[in-house]
Amino acid sequence: MSILRAILSGDPPRGRPLALVLTAIFVGLAFAPLLFPGIGALNVAAKICYFVVLAASYDLLLGYTGVVSFAHTMFFGIGGYGAGLALYDLGPSWSSILIGTGAALLVAIALALVIGLFSLRVRAIFFAMITLAVANAFSILASQLSSFTGGEDGCTFRLPELLRPGFRLVAGPFAISGRLISYYLVFFAALILFLLMLRIVNSPFGRVLQAIRENEFRAEALGYRTMVYRSIGNCLAAAAAALAGVLSALWLRYTGPAVTLSFDIMLDILLMVVIGGMGTLYGAVIGATIFVLAETYLQSLMAALNHATEGLPLLPLLFHPDRWLLWLGVLFVLSVYFFPAGIVGGLQKRR
């Protein structure tokens, strides 16, 4: 138990319901290839993994530091493009992945540092606007430099042989395929990144970030140079988002504006963090899981409901699969209404 506590940086989930939900998500993801056979289910599990990292890194910014940024998908995109373009241009090797990841991290951290310096100079709302403008400019740039990035169509690339879906490490009934190896690469990388972020928020550095969020002047009066802490927080969040982007590129074997840079993804991660609970990284796990599941399966669920209510008045119309976005919206409004402090906040209160 003390080992688990140490792994979780002395910050285990508070309350049995929360611990149970998180354990269920962990077990579901760890054994996804066994529990949910089929490529579709594995896609969903992998997407949850890298979105957990992305949402947790955004929570590092929004929930722990109190910085509202709309440029987070830009860093996700930098990671995706970094790995993707390196694999495309330098060939499908592990060194390409390393070079692409390293370059993406450097670019993401440098950009985050420059953007972060604005946080000292301007009020929160203007900082948010600046990040929006920079992210938009980056997205347009990625689309327009089509000879380099593949433009709107993005870029499809090949992975090292070990990670290719057709590769078989072990054949037979307990086959270990390249897809399985890819999944566990994404899963363990996401797990390590999440635990690292948990370590950061529970370190003395994380405590200062929370103090700045609560009362910046007070933190300064205690002798903390808030600009330095904020900038480091910005850079760490950007680096984690870029690594999430690398994981997404490795899983999808594709990178493009629609899957990394789109403003829709920015809104998605904002919702994941708010629904899960701000200021708690466990909230990002729950938010990302619920969001990706709802986004993937709500349409099929509605098709089933539509079929089941056939013959009844009005209901089949309401449950028509085309209206899934409406119901997704209703689901979010209800969750924010019933869990104003996020689902984690709600589950903790029920101790």
Partner 1 sequence: MSERAPLLTLNGVNTHIGPYHILQGVDLEVPRGALTMLLGRNGAGKTTTLRTIMGLWHASAGSVRFDGADITAWATPDIARAGIAYVPENMGIFADLTVRENLLLAARSGPIDAARLRWIFGLFPALEKFWLLAAGVLSGGQKQMLSIARAIIEPRKLFLIDEPTKGLAPAIIANMIAAFHELKKSSDTTILVVEQNFLFAKSLGDAVAVMDNGRVVHAGAMTALVADRDLQQRLLGLSLDRNQ
Stretch that binds partner 1, among 87-95, 161-169, 206-214, 338-346 (CB under 8 A): 206-214
- Least distance to partner 1, CB of residue 62, Å: 14
Round to whole Å and give the CA distance between 218 and 64.
16
Kindly state whether residue 276 participates in binding partner 1, applying the rule CB under 8 A.
no
Q: Quick check: 121 binds partner 1 (CB under 8 A)? A: no
CB 223 → partner 1: shortest distance, Å?
3
**Residue 113 and residue 235 in contact, taking contact as beta carbons nearer than 8 Å:** yes
Shortest Cβ distance from residue 27 to partner 1 (Å)?
30
Is the Cβ of residue 63 or residue 84 nearer to partner 1 in the bound state?
Answer: 63
Binding status of residue 16 toward partner 1 by CB under 8 A: no
Instruction: Output the smallest distance, CB 228 to partner 1, in A.
Output: 9
Residue 199 binds partner 1 (CB under 8 A): no
> Quick one: 220 or 295, whose CB is closer to partner 1?
220
In the bound state with partner 1, the residue whose beta carbon lies nearer, of 14 and 320, is 14
Q: Which of 11, 295 has the CB closer to partner 1?
A: 11
3-state secondary structure the chain: CHHHHHHCCCCCCCCHHHHHHHHHHHHHHHCHHHHCCCHHHHHHHHHHHHHHHHHHHHHHHHHHCCCCCCCHHHHHHHHHHHHHHHHHHHCCCHHHHHHHHHHHHHHHHHHHHHHHHHHHHCCHHHHHHHHHHHHHHHHHHHHHCHHHHCHHHCEECCCCHHHCCCCEEECCCCCEEHHHHHHHHHHHHHHHHHHHHHHHHCCHHHHHHHHHHHCHHHHHHCCCCHHHHHHHHHHHHHHHHHHHHHHHHHHHCEECHHHHCCHHHHHHHHHHHHHHCCCCHHHHHHHHHHHHHHHHHHHHHHHHHHHHCCCCCCHHHHCCHHHHHHHHHHHHHHHHHHCCCHHHHHHHHCC
Q: Does 337 bind partner 1 (CB under 8 A)?
A: no
Q: Report whether 13 contacts 19 (CB < 8 A).
A: yes
**Minimum distance of partner 1 from residue 202's CB (angstroms):** 10
x/- track of binding to partner 1 for residues 207-226 (CB under 8 A): xx-xx--xx-xxxxxxxxxx
- In the complex with partner 1, which residue's Cβ is closer, 226 or 306? 226
Write the interaction track for partner 1 spanning residues 279-318; mark x where CB under 8 A is met and - where it is not. x---------------------------------------
With binding defined as CB under 8 A, does residue 11 bind partner 1?
no
Contact set for partner 1, span 225-244 (CB under 8 A)? 225-226
Report the greatest alpha carbon distance in the chain: 70
Residue number, 159 or 209, with CB nearest to partner 1: 209
Contacting range for partner 1; rule: CB under 8 A; set: 44-52, 203-211, 237-245, 309-317:
203-211
Q: How many residues bind partner 1 (CB under 8 A)?
A: 18
Instruction: Please report whether residue 156 would count as binding partner 1 according to CB under 8 A.
Output: no
Query: Which residue, 16 or 207, has its beta carbon nearer to partner 1?
Result: 207
**Quick one: CA torsion of 108, 7, 283, 38, rounded to 10 degrees?**
80
Backbone angles phi, psi at 279, to 5 degrees: 75, 15
When the beta carbons of 184 and 205 are compared against partner 1, the nearer one is: 205
Q: Which of residues 170-189 bind partner 1 (CB under 8 A)?
A: none
58 closest CA partner among 251, 199, 265: 265
Residue 120 vs 312, nearer CB to partner 1: 120
- Positions that interact with partner 1 (CB under 8 A): 204, 207-208, 210-211, 214-215, 217-226, 279
